[in-house]
Structure 1
């Protein structure tokens, strides 16, 4: 897929997949007590899907951009080339940075496609 033909709608599905939420909870349990992590995930399930630019999400998270050679980033890039859509990213406002609860590899993939593309996400 050429960068000039990239749009939010041909890269992303509209709603997170069911398996994204348990993955987010697993990660969040490293940062929060299990009950608090579970509560955050419940909020993510109910939150509306919004859009933000990949470059802004990456900056707010303070995480490094993974290399294109990362196996998971590469798999997501291949998915997009095969016209398979990616799941929205799950985000949590931290005290001093944005927490990517699920979708870090998808975010990096999106950044390589075009850093200005709007990325569907849930934010709590």
Structure 2
């Protein structure tokens, strides 16, 4: 399923969508207290967008790669193939790396090509 000629500009919006931040807060709320969630989401909103390789995000997060036929992963792959752009992912440094929002998008990108640069916002807790 590899598509080596894709670039980050072909696949990704320049900035996260507004609804990504509350989604990140909902996930982080399961891991840390409310004050830490608020600090992390504020930092994610203010952080610049950088790029990291799909394979590196997956390794650092220590999460399993979801299969390409997972409904959400498949939806993101279809979006890309339809010429629609994906939202950058929201990451919080930790051991392991926390994908606060965008796990399915990272998995979709990995299935397209594991060396793909993924725009992300990366903050420390």
Shift of 1:4: 3.9
Are the equivalent residues in 1 in contact too, given 2:86–2:105 (CA < 8 A)?
yes
Are the equivalent residues in 1 in contact too, given 2:4–2:113 (CA < 8 A)?
no
How many angstroms apart in 1 are the aligned matches of 2:23 and 2:7? 26
For the residue of structure 1 that corresponds to 2:63, the secondary structure is coil
**Aligned residue in 1 for 2:80:** 80
TM-score for both structures, normalised by structure 2: 0.95
Are the equivalent residues in 1 in contact too, given 2:4–2:112 (CA < 8 A)?
no
Instruction: List structure 1 runs of 4+ shifted beyond 4 angstroms.
Output: none
Structure 2: gaps spanning 5 or more residues: none
Task: Output the aligned Cα RMSD.
Answer: 1.0
**Aligned residue in 1 for 2:31:** 31
How many angstroms apart in 1 are the aligned matches of 2:93 and 2:28? 12
Are the equivalent residues in 1 in contact too, given 2:24–2:41 (CA < 8 A)?
yes
TM-score for both structures, normalised by structure 1: 0.96
How many angstroms apart in 2 are the aligned matches of 1:5 and 1:57? 20
1:71 aligns with 2:64: no
Question: Number of matched residues?
Answer: 122
Structure 1: gaps spanning 5 or more residues: none
